[in-house]
A and B are shown apart, each in its own frame.
Chain A
């Protein structure tokens, strides 16, 4: 039986009083949006029913999450990722909210008496506030159970642009991958699709994760990976299947463009291996009854090196909590091991 590293477990405060207790004034008295999406919440609720407990928030109780994930679902190690509260227009407030979540993550989860040694954490920073982000990173980077830096998928500016480079540089120097994840809550984000607000949750959900493509292509074209050979980025909402056609296109269409971007002289696909990772979620991979069937799942996972880039992640306690049993049965045992634990163990330097 494979070891299982769950590369994406979402953690929350138990409620707003709980969060405010971790904030100093003037932030404690500010207005702050809740975790729920306003327009784009999942019909029927954001979380799996079995993780909901009266009186507290799903994903806020380390005892319950530890029992459900580590004991009942056979997870050996879980990479925790605090969700915060949307893109807030005031960067000072945003950084204060991130810092409160980090304090909660470390004290409540990573240092938990029973399960702490099987939790690893993602510290949240605010890319809009580079100075604050660097301070927050410096505060936590040497904690032995902090293994990652987290930033929102939502942004007004693509992550290849130079204002973010000090953060990427610091993360690379600290040896911490940067996870990009769709932020909970609703703030000053742009519409979630290039054609504006979608009318259905199905469309919102289908597209939202794919926004990573914009960030990734821009980071390649701007030379981020050329400049920071040790930088590693995890796109944590899934959609890794899409990297194959987009990197084919980036290479084919891109070749004549290389003269415009001399700071990124290699073929775009050369920048994937060792730099780019994906969490594999519930709707990723060829479905058994989909076009092409699932027999080809193993061959597909090899294409463009995805078998070394994809990591299983449950997204617990969200409604789309994934289960290793749903992974394609046609994968080879080696591929299954890589996705279930090998790739994450290597990326996060987790002892086996």
Chain B
């Protein structure tokens, strides 16, 4: 008998798998492996620490494996907690990680992450349920290397997108990155960007000084994404690549509402400087940029959040995400209740299915899986 198929109701755009200690090195090509990865011991690298970091490591404490393994290191546990118990249907895997200050070294690390995803998460044993989709990790600061990496993995049945770090400078409207966007567009892959929290050029460099704590650091991190949007719009990226899709992951999103107003007003005032920018910034944003829902920030008065969703037309720009297994995990059953009813299908699954070509509309049913909405 054919296994029973059910519609995909929740596409989770931000899930963090982590390699078990010692696994990655074998996939990093020589001589980079010996010269940079294994050349010296490294200790804890945290700064801007989340609450109770020494105990929780910025993770859901129930996501450590029974033998003490790091949250996100065991595909089977992640499957149970995120898919079966919380109810996400599809998880887009986004391996994190800082870049290296030498771009081609970062490229080599990203390559290793891709080999590892293919072998340890997207393989028939760990992806028997076909619920995981991977990300083609690429070093945007090494545009030629990133384009090569995209070419190598495009067409993989379980790769859903390209994943880059948000921090490398300059901003993305700079033409030096065009090979990356060209490769992504060629293969109909969205380009997602995630916080890398690295060092120097791998860290947002606030123009007026460094924040003091994880609190003001993480909240102000959104300004990095706001500036990337300004650059993409005003430098004409979407005019150069009319089919490019960008996903901003974990940068929060309610700021896009006043930012769209601001950019539309600036555009109106400065049109003559930038004649090639033919449309209103808010139109480019709605056609080309998606934001993930986690972290959901909300006011005391939830009606204000509802109004903000309506004004920004959240059903056009949001993708659900949980950020499993981080401490800031947003459960899909909790998140969906905050969305205006008429926007739920779009945000929870329709936009995801439309954004990621390899995300299916139906999946094989699972016994005992949580129902989200």
Q: Enumerate chain B interface residues (CB-CB to A < 8 A).
A: 50-51, 167, 169-171, 173-174, 204-216, 218-220, 222-224, 226-228, 230-231, 234-235, 252, 254-255, 257-270, 272-274, 277, 280, 282, 286, 295-299, 304, 307-308, 310-313, 328
Q: Does A155 contact B (CB under 8 A)?
A: yes
A132 to B255: give the CA distance in the assembly, Å.
38
Contacts of A191 in B (CB 8 A): 205, 207
Of the residues B212, B258, B272, contact of A161 by C-beta under 8 Å: B212
Can you name the residue of chain A whose Cβ is closest to the Cβ of B228? A195
Q: Is the CB of B173 within 8 A of A241?
A: no
Q: Does A125 contact B (CB under 8 A)?
A: no
Can you name the residue of chain B whose Cβ is closest to the Cβ of A303? B304
Question: How distant is A305 from chain B, measured CB to nearest CB, in Å?
Answer: 11
A286 to B167: give the CA distance in the assembly, Å.
29
Beyond known contacts A154-B207, A194-B224, A206-B230: 13 more, CB 8 A cutoff: A155-B208, A161-B209, A200-B234, A201-B270, A207-B226, A214-B211, A215-B209, A253-B218, A256-B51, A260-B213, A282-B265, A291-B257, A291-B264
Can you name the residue of chain A whose Cβ is closest to the Cβ of B327? A256
**Number of A positions contacting B (CB below 8 A):** 73
Interface majority SS (helix, strand, loop, mixed), chain B? helix
Can you offer 7 A-B residue contacts whose CB atoms are under 8 A? A158-B209, A160-B216, A190-B205, A190-B208, A203-B171, A221-B213, A241-B258
Contacts of A190 in B (CB 8 A): 205, 207-208
Q: Is the CB of A253 within 8 A of B295?
A: yes
Contacts of B206 in A (CB 8 A): 158, 194, 211, 214
Q: Does A59 contact B (CB under 8 A)?
A: no
A91 to B296: give the CA distance in the assembly, Å.
43
Q: Is the CB of B171 within 8 A of A195?
A: yes
A210 to B223: give the CA distance in the assembly, Å.
8
Of the residues A202, A214, A245, A299, contact of B255 by C-beta under 8 Å: A245
Of the residues B174, B263, B297, contact of A245 by C-beta under 8 Å: B297
Q: Is the CB of A202 within 8 A of B307?
A: no
Of the residues B173, B215, B222, B299, contact of A303 by C-beta under 8 Å: B299
Q: Is the CB of A249 within 8 A of B270?
A: no
Q: Mark A340-352, 1 if CB is under 8 A from B, else 0.
A: 0000000000000
Of the residues B211, B268, B310, contact of A158 by C-beta under 8 Å: B211
Contacts of B277 in A (CB 8 A): 202
Q: Is the CB of B208 within 8 A of A201?
A: no
Q: Mark A33-50, 1 if CB is under 8 A from B, else 0.
A: 000000000011000000
Question: How distant is A153 from chain B, measured CB to nearest CB, in Å?
Answer: 7
Question: How distant is A256 from chain B, measured CB to nearest CB, in Å?
Answer: 5
Q: Are A197 and B265 also in contact (CB < 8 A) when A246-B255, A296-B311 are?
A: no
Question: How distant is B202 from chain A, measured CB to nearest CB, in Å?
Answer: 12
Q: Is the CB of A285 within 8 A of B261?
A: yes
Contacts of B218 in A (CB 8 A): 253
Can you name the residue of chain A whose Cβ is closest to the Cβ of B268? A287
Q: Is the CB of A158 within 8 A of B212?
A: yes
A192 to B227: give the CA distance in the assembly, Å.
10
Q: Does A156 contact B (CB under 8 A)?
A: yes
Q: Is the CB of B209 within 8 A of A156?
A: yes
Q: Is the CB of A291 within 8 A of B213?
A: no
Q: Is the CB of A260 within 8 A of B274?
A: no
Chain A, range 172-201, C-beta contacts under 8 Å to B: 189-201
A242 to B299: give the CA distance in the assembly, Å.
14
Q: Is the CB of A217 within 8 A of B226?
A: no
Q: Is the CB of A200 within 8 A of B297?
A: no
Question: How distant is B336 from chain A, measured CB to nearest CB, in Å?
Answer: 17
Contacts of B280 in A (CB 8 A): 289
Q: Is the CB of A194 within 8 A of B205?
A: yes
Q: Are A155 and B170 also in contact (CB < 8 A) when A202-B270, A245-B297, A304-B299 are?
A: no
Question: How distant is A282 from chain B, measured CB to nearest CB, in Å?
Answer: 7
Q: Does A90 contact B (CB under 8 A)?
A: no
Contacts of B219 in A (CB 8 A): 217, 246, 249-250, 253-254
Can you name the residue of chain A whose Cβ is closest to the Cβ of B296? A252
A210 to B227: give the CA distance in the assembly, Å.
10
Question: How distant is A220 from chain B, measured CB to nearest CB, in Å?
Answer: 7
Contacts of A303 in B (CB 8 A): 299, 304
A27 to B282: give the CA distance in the assembly, Å.
48
Q: Is the CB of B51 within 8 A of A259?
A: yes
Can you name the residue of chain B whose Cβ is closest to the Cβ of A319? B269
Can you name the residue of chain B whose Cβ is closest to the Cβ of A191? B207
Q: Are A207 and B205 also in contact (CB < 8 A) when A195-B224, A291-B313 are?
A: no
Q: Does A261 contact B (CB under 8 A)?
A: yes
Contacts of B222 in A (CB 8 A): 245-246, 249
Q: Does A290 contact B (CB under 8 A)?
A: yes
A153 to B206: give the CA distance in the assembly, Å.
12
Question: How distant is A120 from chain B, measured CB to nearest CB, in Å?
Answer: 27
Nearest 6 CB-CB pairs, A to B?
A: A292-B311, A241-B258, A158-B209, A283-B265, A245-B254, A195-B171
Q: Is the CB of B297 within 8 A of A207?
A: no
Can you name the residue of chain A whose Cβ is closest to the Cβ of B305? A248
A310 to B211: give the CA distance in the assembly, Å.
25
